[in-house]
């Protein structure tokens, strides 16, 4: 999280650069638009969160209310297994429900998927009621930030001035005040932001760490067993 330039300071800088008597709320709206533009570029490390989800007796669980289910989620097994549970799309999911049901082991799941805000574990016969599984997910943007001396965007410090530049460009664009040169400011800020974004994507291989290593080990072991 940024701890360098508060939202109050960002508003002041926008008002100084575009001296038209802009209200604080107007500036905040443009800053929040700039932030949402950033996170629309993909999954970011600062959005990552973890939570325990509770499994029902029918193998379902509720996703956290702030979960962005359009981005990567990783579900890991309980105390007995400690391994990643593979995610499968619904086109592949159902065949795991009927495969060798009579030999299902409680708590040992083949895969998981979701619909809307509900997660599903298969096969259902493996469901262990009230079991807590660890879910790593990306949080939604949340409510727009307000102006405050101790309020900061969740982005790393390096994004602070870029958010200001993007907000200034938006203010000066034809959508609002039609200042010349707004497009140059916007392109420069976007180019710098995209370069930084590549360093902070949560999907980068170097950030997968132990989860990716565990997955590779599991796959190697499965291949040996074939």
CB 75 within 8 A of CB 132: no
Classify residue 61: in a domain, yes or no: yes
Q: How many domains does the chain have?
A: 2
Q: Is the pTM of this model over 0.75?
A: yes
Classify residue 215: in a domain, yes or no: no
DSSP structural state of residue 32 = H
Q: Which domain holds residue 88?
A: 47-139
Classify residue 181: in a domain, yes or no: yes
Residues 59 and 133 in one domain: yes
Residues 54 and 134 in one domain: yes
Please say which residue of 120, 139, 158 terminates a domain: 139
Nearest to 59 by CA among 134, 137, 119: 119
pLDDT at 203: 74
Residues 39 and 53 in one domain: no
Please say which residue of 118, 139, 160 terminates a domain: 139
Please say which residue of 139, 157, 190 terminates a domain: 139
CA end-to-end span of the chain, whole Å?
Answer: 46
Tokens 């807590």 sit on residue: 132
- pLDDT by residue for the chain (226 residues), tens digit each? 657 899 999 999 999 999 999 999 999 999 999 999 999 988 999 999 999 999 999 999 999 999 999 999 999 986 666 788 999 988 887 777 665 555 567 888 888 999 999 999 988 888 889 999 999 999 998 888 998 999 999 999 999 999 999 999 999 998 888 898 999 999 999 999 999 988 888 876 544 443 444 444 445 444 434 4
Residues 177 and 127 in one domain: no
Residues 36 and 118 in one domain: no
* CA count, 13 A, side-chain hemisphere, 220: 6
Residues 84 and 164 in one domain: no
Residues 72 and 104 in one domain: yes
Classify residue 216: in a domain, yes or no: no
């Amino acid at each position: 999280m940024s701890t360098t330039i508060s939202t109050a300071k960002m508003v002041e800088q926008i008002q100084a650069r575009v001296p038209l008597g802009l209200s604080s709320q107007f500036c905040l709206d443009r800053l929040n638009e700039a932030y949402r533009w950033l996170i629309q570029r993909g999954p970011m490390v600062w959005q990552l969160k973890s939570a325990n989800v509770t499994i029902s007796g029918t193998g379902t669980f509720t996703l956290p209310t702030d979960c962005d289910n359009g981005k990567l989620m990783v579900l890991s097994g309980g105390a007995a297994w400690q391994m990643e549970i593979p995610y499968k799309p619904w086109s592949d999911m159902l065949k795991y429900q009927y495969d060798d049901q009579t030999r299902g082991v409680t708590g040992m799941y083949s895969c998981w998927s979701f619909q809307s805000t509900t997660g599903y574990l298969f096969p259902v016969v493996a469901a262990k009621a009230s079991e807590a599984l660890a879910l790593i997910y990306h949080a939604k943007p949340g409510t727009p930030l307000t102006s405050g001396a101790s309020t900061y965007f969740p982005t790393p410090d390096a994004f602070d001035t870029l958010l200001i530049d993007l907000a200034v460009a938006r203010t000066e664009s034809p959508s609002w005040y039609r200042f010349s040169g707004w497009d140059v400011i916007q392109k420069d800020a976007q180019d710098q932001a995209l370069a930084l974004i590549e360093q902070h994507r949560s999907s980068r291989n170097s950030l997968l760490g132990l989860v990716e290593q565990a997955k590779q080990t599991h796959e190697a072991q499965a291949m040996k067993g074939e």
